[in-house]
């Protein structure tokens, strides 16, 4: 595998990871006002944990040579659930209110989720542009060789 193919592969795995992150973040946003019956915990906020294959050595040349043998990738290693306390709101007329009139809501801040969604979208776009750039570089290299 050449350097440009390896770089393109890393960008592709980054795009896949960011797309999955977007799905999780949008799920958080959609469920930010979801309640459960009294006595049940509300849905927990979810977040993803990325992992990447580190370079084989500290030397750049050796790391690039290793990229030719093993494509480094970005992936989601796990989806974690936030275990922080739910938000209690006094709403005695709500169907999910407890005997004291409180309803438990997920500890999800919609504004924070929107910021994370914008961040994931921009990361996806950056990976897409990197992928396009490596494709363009490959085409120019082929033209030079003609």
* Neighbour count for residue 101 (Cβ, 10 Å): 12
The length of the chain, given as a count of residues: 146
Retrieve residue 74's tokens. 């970005």
Strand spans (E) along the chain = 46-52, 74-81, 87-90, 102-105
Q: 3-state class of 4 per DSSP? A: helix
68 band by pLDDT with thresholds 50, 70 and 90:
low
Question: What are the b/e assignments for 16-35, b being 16+ CB within 10 Å?
Answer: bbbebbbebbebbbebbeeb
When the pLDDT of each residue in the chain is averaged and rounded to a whole number, the result is 84
Please report where in the chains the tokens 């504004």 appear, as a residue.
111
pLDDT at 64: 58
User: For a pLDDT cut of 70, what percent of the chain falls above it?
Assistant: 82
Owning domain of residue 26: 3-145
23 band by pLDDT with thresholds 50, 70 and 90:
very high
Q: Crossing angle, helix 3-30 and helix 110-145, to 10 degrees? A: 160
Number of domains in the chain: 1
pLDDT in tens, 72-126: 678 889 999 999 999 999 999 999 999 999 999 999 999 999 999 999 999 999 9
d(CA 51, CA 21): 13
pLDDT at 48: 95
pLDDT at 57: 44
């Amino acid at each position: 595998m050449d350097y440009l193919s390896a770089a393109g592969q890393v960008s592709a795995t980054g795009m896949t990871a960011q797309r999955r992150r977007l799905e999780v973040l949008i799920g958080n946003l959609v469920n930010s006002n979801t309640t459960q019956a009294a006595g049940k915990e509300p849905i927990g906020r979810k977040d993803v944990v990325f992992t990447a294959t580190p370079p084989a050595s500290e030397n750049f040349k050796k790391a690039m040579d290793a990229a030719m043998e093993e494509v480094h990738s970005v992936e989601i290693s796990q989806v974690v659930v936030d275990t922080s306390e739910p938000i209690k709101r006094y709403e005695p007329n709500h169907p999910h209110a407890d005997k004291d009139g409180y309803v438990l809501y997920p500890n999800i801040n919609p504004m924070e989720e929107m910021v994370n969604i914008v961040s994931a979208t921009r990361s996806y776009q950056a990976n897409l542009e990197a992928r396009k750039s490596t494709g363009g570089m490959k085409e120019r290299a082929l033209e030079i060789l003609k």
